[in-house]
Amino acid sequence: MAAILSIKDLQKTYDGGFQALKGVTLDIEEGEILALLGPNGAGKTTLISTVCGITTPSAGSVSVGGHDIIDDFRAARRLIGLVPQEINLEPFETVWNSVTFSRGLFGKPRNDALIETILRKLSLWDKRKSQIKELSGGMKRRVLIAKALSHDPRVLFLDEPTAGVDVELRKDMWDVVADLKRDGVTIILTTHYIEEAEAIADRVGVITNGEILLVQEKNQLMRQLGQKQLEVQLTDPLQEVPEVLQRHGVELSKDGRALIYSYDTNAERTGITALLNDVAAAGLTLADVQTRESSLEDIFVGLVSGEAA
Partner 1 sequence: MNWTAIAAIYRFEMARFFRTLLQSFLSPVLSTSLYFVVFGAAIGSRIDEVEGVSYGAFIVPGLIMLSVMTQATSNASFGIYFPKFIGTIYELFSAPVNFLEIVLGYVGAAATKALFIGVVILATAAVFVDIQIAHPVAMVVFLLLTCVSFALLGFIIGVWAKNFEQLQLVPLLIVTPLVFLGGSFYSISMLPSIWQKITLFNPVVYLISGFRWSFFGTADVPVGLSLLAIGGFTLFCLGVIWWIFKTGWRIRS
- The residues binding partner 1 (CB under 8 A) are 14-15, 49, 52-56, 73-78, 80, 82, 84, 86, 88-93, 97, 100-109, 147
Cα–Cα distance for residue pair 218/201, rounded to 1 Å: 7
Shorter beta-carbon distance to partner 1: residue 28 or 213: 28
* Closer of 16 and 283 to partner 1 (Cβ): 16
* Residue 194 parent element (H or E): helix 194-200
Min dist CB 215 to partner 1, Å, is 24
Number of other CB atoms surrounding residue 255 within 10 Å: 9
Is 61 or 131 the residue whose CB approaches partner 1 more closely?
131
Please report how close the Cβ of residue 226 comes to partner 1 at its closest, in angstroms.
37
Residue closer to partner 1 (CB basis): 57 or 226 = 57
d(Cα 164, Cα 225) in Å, to the nearest integer? 30
In contact, 256 and 205? CB cutoff 8 Å: no
User: In whole angstroms, what is the distance from residue 159 CA to residue 47 CA?
Assistant: 10
What separation, in Å, do the N-terminal and C-terminal C-alpha atoms of the chain show? Answer: 28
The Cα–Cα gap between 158 and 85 comes to 8
**Least separation in angstroms between CB 143 and partner 1:** 11
Q: Are 147 and 80 in contact (CB under 8 A)?
A: no
Q: Which of 228, 308, 309, 300 is nearest to 264 (CA)?
A: 228
Dist. CA 120–CA 273, nearest whole Å: 56
CB of 29 to partner 1, least distance (A): 22
CB of 16 to partner 1, least distance (A): 10
Amino acid at position 27, single letter: D
17 or 109, CB closer to partner 1?
109
- Kindly tell me which of 132 and 176 has the beta carbon lying closer to partner 1: 132
If the CB atoms of residues 19 and 55 are measured against partner 1, the closer one turns out to be 55
Helix (H, G, I), strand (E, B) or coil at 182: helix
Beta-strand pair 227-234/258-264: antiparallel
Min dist. Cβ of residue 178 to partner 1 (A): 24
Contact 289, 232 (CB under 8 A): yes
Q: How far is the CB of 167 from partner 1 (least distance, A)?
A: 27
CB nearer to partner 1: give 108 or 257. 108
Work out how close the CB of 133 gets to partner 1 at its nearest, in angstroms, rounded to a whole number.
Answer: 11
Helices 218-225 and 296-304, axial angle in degrees (round to 10): 70
